[in-house]
Amino acid sequence: MFAHTSDHASRLLRVLLGAALACACTPSIAPPSLTVPVKEQEVPIVLAIGPIDTHRLVYDDAPVGGPIESSMQQTIHNTLSRTGVFKEIVTLKLPSQAGGKPDPEQILAAARSQRADLMLVGEVKEFHAESMATFGSEYSVATRLQLQLYNVHTSALVWKKTEKVNLSHGGSLQEIFLNVAVPSLSAGLLPPLVDHVQEEYVASLRAPGISAGATEPYSVFGGAELARIDAELAPPAGLTPPKDHAYAVIVGVEEYRDLPKVDYAKRDAEMVTKYLVKALGYREQNIITLLNGRVTKSQLEARFEKWLPKQVAESRDAEVFVYYGGHGAPDPSTNQAFLVPYDGDPSFLETTAYPLKRLYQVLGNLPAKQVMLVVDSCFSGAGGRSVIAKGARPMLLTVEDPLLASQNMVVLSAAAGNQISSAFPEKRHGLFTYYFLKGLQGEADANKDGAVDVAELYAYLKPQVETAARRMHAEQSPQLMPGTDLLKERGNVRLVDLKR
């Protein structure tokens, strides 16, 4: 027993002696104050330093302790501040989430709330440490850090670079990483970052024709998340036979020249186009897709009033599909609703916007077998996807047109006249369009006959949107015109065949 005790005591003594020696022989590492050589050219850009993913910083199956992420952010912040290049640099403080990384949308929202133009995020891609001394006071460390710069306004990836470092140093692993490895990585990454912002990014701002972002698919902030969402919402396999006489005009205005952004309107329009081609049997050459800056009043007039009638005139069994995602606006003086194009002005709707009533008339007069209009917009002027002239109050509009009761037309709209049409940030789409597409994907096939018709789609869409809107503390109730009582055989029109 005594032998056993003395064995323990001697082991404890060795450990304590080792620890004492390690402490006594290992001075703390002073962090260097890096001076990055850059051009003396200030750029009018607010830079946000976002999260740095450090989950790979593990040694002996335990995370390298300490406030690693905030210290790395601080090093980058201090180094970039000393250059005097940026107008302002802010470090984003994000609420920690239990068991997971913060949502990319939440990070972007935080950057936007700080009025940032660019956001820098990082990820420790590799970390390997090995103890080189008996008592663990010297380590050999190999690590790789990637920094990515995103445009906060467009979410597009602007720049990225990865830097690797191998080093050996005495001290605690946390100190070695923060005070030796991170400065070395920063020295390799930050000068090229500043160069890129001073030269290419600023040049792209002066000449908007040059893209300031990367062109790879999903090369936007949260791209992996987007890819997952898009895969989940992918159109079902094309079992609807191709239709030679089906024509569509798809309009999505996310970026406006003078108005607030309509979140996800471009993605909505692009996904609707994919559905038409892959699931609804429309031929690509028969679809006109107008996005953002291409959506002008004259283009809307040309496509709705010239192109569509010309195509439909060639065939009596033509089908027409029109989708609009963007701002809507009410005119308080005439009680009319308008679709607002890219350069539209809510104060001069008569001359700058396209009247919804006119769209109903144009589509209603088409000699087509069936016409479907889907509007993910709202016309109350109360926010969301609707705007109103400065000084005017939100209003209740009745946008139903008597023509609808006697035509081959069906209109699905996102919200009632006094409601707003919301975005669905979790799914990166408009709330209404997301469930519209989910319905077409097959979820609306209530009778399991392998097809989704208009009545089934609306029956699915309405409660789904209402419930999701309530979860977001909003009221949104999609509308079908004509109502289900007047729909008759139009309700049985098959939109998509899911099986042969």
Q: Is 63 in the site for other proteins (CB under 8 A)?
A: no
Q: Is 302 in the site for other proteins (CB under 8 A)?
A: no
Q: Is 183 in the site for other proteins (CB under 8 A)?
A: yes
Q: Is 72 in the site for other proteins (CB under 8 A)?
A: no
Q: Is 66 in the site for other proteins (CB under 8 A)?
A: no
Rounded CA separation 96/94 (Å): 6
Q: Is 417 in the site for other proteins (CB under 8 A)?
A: no
* Nearest-approach distance from CB 66 to other proteins, in angstroms: 19
- Give the HSE-up count for residue 53: Cα atoms under 13 Å, Cβ half-sphere: 18
Binding test (CB under 8 A) with other proteins, winner from 54, 57, 148, 169: 169
Which is nearer to other proteins, 183 or 293 (by Cβ)?
Answer: 183
Q: Is 498 in the site for other proteins (CB under 8 A)?
A: no
Of 430, 440, 342, the closest CA to residue 378 belongs to: 430
In sequence order, the β-bridge partners of residue 145 are: 124, 163
Q: Is 32 in the site for other proteins (CB under 8 A)?
A: yes
With contact defined as beta carbons under 8 Å apart, do 169 and 139 qualify? yes
Which is nearer to other proteins, 36 or 205 (by Cβ)?
Answer: 36
Q: Is 134 in the site for other proteins (CB under 8 A)?
A: no
Q: Is 136 in the site for other proteins (CB under 8 A)?
A: no
Binding test (CB under 8 A) with other proteins, winner from 85, 181, 329, 372: 181
With contact defined as beta carbons under 8 Å apart, do 277 and 246 qualify? no
Q: Is 34 in the site for other proteins (CB under 8 A)?
A: yes
Of 391, 381, 372, the closest CA to residue 336 belongs to: 381
The pair of structure tokens assigned to 491 is 């309700």
Which is nearer to other proteins, 142 or 202 (by Cβ)?
Answer: 142
Q: Is 279 in the site for other proteins (CB under 8 A)?
A: no
Question: What is the size of the binding site for other proteins (CB under 8 A)?
Answer: 20
Q: Is 166 in the site for other proteins (CB under 8 A)?
A: yes
Which is nearer to other proteins, 30 or 62 (by Cβ)?
Answer: 30
Rounded CA separation 41/85 (Å): 6
Q: Which stretch binds other proteins (CB under 8 A): 51-59, 186-194, 415-423, 474-482?
A: 186-194
* Nearest-approach distance from CB 140 to other proteins, in angstroms: 9
In sequence order, the β-bridge partners of residue 150 are: 119, 157
Which is nearer to other proteins, 187 or 493 (by Cβ)?
Answer: 187
* Nearest-approach distance from CB 33 to other proteins, in angstroms: 9
Which is nearer to other proteins, 34 or 85 (by Cβ)?
Answer: 34
Rounded CA separation 286/277 (Å): 10
* Nearest-approach distance from CB 71 to other proteins, in angstroms: 16
Phi/psi class of residue 418: alpha, beta or left (left: φ > 0; alpha: ψ in -120 to 50)? Answer: alpha
* Nearest-approach distance from CB 168 to other proteins, in angstroms: 5
Which single residue is written with the structure tokens 């402490």? 23
Rounded CA separation 424/433 (Å): 9
Q: Which stretch binds other proteins (CB under 8 A): 28-36, 117-125, 238-246, 266-274?
A: 28-36
Q: Is 167 in the site for other proteins (CB under 8 A)?
A: yes
* Nearest-approach distance from CB 388 to other proteins, in angstroms: 52
Other beta carbons within 10 angstroms of residue 204's beta carbon come to 16
Under the rule (CB under 8 A), what is the footprint of other proteins? Answer: 30, 32, 34-37, 165-169, 180-181, 183-185, 187-188, 191-192
